[in-house]
Structure 1
C-alpha cells in the first residue's frame, strides 16, 4: 500500500495501533511482535488527507485492537474531522475463506461513519481474478492469505493489488486535496 501511494507522489506515514493482548498470548497466537512503526494516536488522524487501515482477520472481523482504536475516534466523528478524507482497507487471513471481505467491511463501516470517501481495489487490478493460483483480493480492498502461523508471504499478485489500491487512494486524495 505504502509503495503504491508513494508512486503517486504521496507522503506516507506507517503507524500501528496499541497492542492490547498480553505478550504471552500474542506470541502463542503468532502475532507480529517485532513492529518498528510508531504507535498511532487518534488525534493525528485529522491531519491526514487519506487513511488506509490494515488489520488481520480475527474470527472473521477486524481485531479488537483496531476496533478499540477506531472506537476512541468518537470526538473526531462528532466534529466531522474526517469528512471527505479518503479511506481504504486491507487485510490478511489464515485461510482462503477466513473472512477477508467481512473484515474489510468491518473496517470500511467505521471509515464511512467518519464520512470518508472509500477507495477499494477495483478490477482494474485483474490479478485478483486469477484462477492460476490461490490469490487474495476483493473489490473492497487488497487481501492476502497468510497461513495459520503467518508462514505464507503475500504473493506477487497480492502485492501488486496492494500497490494498485495504494496508488488509487493517493491519486484520489491528490484530486480532492491538490497541493
Structure 2
C-alpha cells in the first residue's frame, strides 16, 4: 500500500483542518496516511500572547529520517510574509542528511497553505515549500483545474493550481467546504500519483 505523510505547521488551526482534509483525500486514493506536525519553535510567551492553538491530536514528526519511509509527502503551512513560517523552515533545514542520501528522489510531493487575505502571498508561500521538495528530487502535484471550485469569482474562496489554500481573514474565518474539498482533491491526486509511480 502507498504510504503518505501529511506534514504541517498550524498556528491557529486552519492548516490543521486542511491537513485532516488532505489526509481524507489521500485515504480515498487508497493510501495509508500519517499526519504529523513540526515542532513549535516560537518562545512560549509569544505562543501564549498570540493565542496559538496548542491542543492537537497529531504528534510531532520523529525527525527528518522519518521522511524516507513515505511514498508521498504533502506539506502544509501558513504564510509568513509570503513564505513558509520559520517553524516549517527549521524542520526542512535539518534534512541535509536525507538529501545527501537522495532518500526522497522520485517520491511525490505537494503543498497547501493559508493566508489572512486573498492576496496575502498564497502562491509564493506554496513555492517556498515546493522549492524544498524539488531540491529533494520530488515530483510535485498541485491542485489541478479538474477541481473546478477554485475557478469561481462569486465568493471568497482559496485555491491555486500550485496547491490547496484557505483564507483565514482575521482568524475567525474557518476553511470553507470548497477549500476543504480542494484539499481532499489534492490529497487524492497525490496518493493516486504516488501509487502509479510506485508501480
Give the TM-score band, short-chain normalised. Answer: over 0.9
1:141 aligned partner:
163
- Deviation of residue 29 (structure 1)? 2.8
Deviation (angstroms), 1:23: 2.0
4+ residue segments displaced more than 3 Å:
none
- The equivalent residue for 1:82 is 104
Superposition deviation, residue 132 in structure 1: 1.3
Q: Displacement of 1:58 after TM fit? A: 1.1
1:114 pairs with 131, 136, 142, which one? 136
Aligned to 1:25: 46
- The residue aligned with 1:159 is 180
Q: 1:95 aligns with which of 85, 94, 117?
A: 117
Partners in 2 of 1:28 and 1:97 — Cα distance?
A: 26
Q: Does structure 1 residue 44 correspond to structure 2 residue 66? A: yes
Corresponding residue number in structure 1 for 2:56: 35
Secondary structure, aligned partner of 1:151:
coil
Shift of 1:30: 4.0
Distance 1:27 1:140 in 2: 33
Query: Once structures 1 and 2 are overlaid, which stretch shifts more, 91-100 or 30-39?
Result: 30-39
Would you say how many aligned residue pairs link Structure 1 and Structure 2? Answer: 177
Distance in structure 2 (CA, Å) of the matches to 1:130 and 1:32: 31
Q: SS of the counterpart of 2:36?
A: coil
Deviations 1:105-160 (A, max 9, x none): 00000000000000000110010011111011100000000122x21111111111
Q: CA deviation at 1:28?
A: 2.8
In the aligned structure 2, how far is the partner of 1:159 from the partner of 1:36?
18
Per the TM alignment, residue 34 of structure 1 is displaced from its structure 2 partner at its CA by 1.4
Residue matched to 1:72: 94
* In 2: Cα distance, 1:142 partner to 1:120 partner: 8
Q: Which runs of 5+ in 1 are unaligned?
A: none
Aligned residue number for residue 168 of structure 1: 189
Q: Confirm whether residue 130 of structure 1 aligns to residue 152 of structure 2.
A: yes
Aligned to 1:11: 32
Q: Which runs of 5+ in 2 are unaligned?
A: 1-21
